[in-house]
Amino acid sequence: MSADPNCIFCKIVAGQIPAKKVHEDDLVVAFHDIAPWAPVHVLIIPKRHIASMTEVTEADAALLGHMNVLAPRLMAQLGVTDGFRQVINTGRDGGQEVFLLHMHVMGGPRPWAKG
């Protein structure tokens, strides 16, 4: 797996920074966001460093599919029963703050404070 030694999410994948994980497998890690925008807010990140959606190739289709299939399963496990939102911010103008591809999955009663 490729990693960026300066990437906070790569450090979470490597176990160098703690995170409240809700899922881990060979492809991804999912954990609670430290600054949630909703009652339930998890991030799903690939274990391989991909800076953003602009770097995704056809070879990443299975990874992205895996992330999308995992999202509803995690929400159900975390008690979200009436819908959720999935967001991938891309680039600075798209609101991306950490430059490792990541999916926000947010659910719980509305209205949310942000988003």
Q: What is the dihedral of CA 96, 97, 100, 103, to 10 degrees?
A: -60
42 found inside a domain? yes
3 found inside a domain? no
1 found inside a domain? no
Residue with tokens 């994980």: 21
pLDDT at 80 over 90: yes
> Mean pLDDT, the chain, as a whole number?
94
54 found inside a domain? yes
- Whether residue 49 lies in the annotated active site: no
Percent of the chain with pLDDT over 90: 87
Q: How confident is the model at residue 1 (pLDDT cuts 50, 70, 90)?
A: low
State the CATH number of the domain containing residue 52. Answer: 3.30.428.10
Mean pLDDT over 84-103 rounds to 97
Report pTM. Answer: 0.94
The count of structural domains within the chain is 1
Host domain of residue 78: 8-107
Mean pLDDT over 8-13 rounds to 96
95 found inside a domain? yes
Q: How confident is the model at residue 5 (pLDDT cuts 50, 70, 90)?
A: confident
In tens, the pLDDT along 32-76 reads 999 999 999 999 999 999 999 999 999 999 999 999 999 999 999
In the 8-state DSSP scheme, what is residue 53?
G
Q: Rounded distance, CA 86 to CA 106, Å?
A: 7
Q: Annotated catalytic residue: which of 32, 41, 49, 102?
A: 102
37 found inside a domain? yes
31 found inside a domain? yes
82 found inside a domain? yes
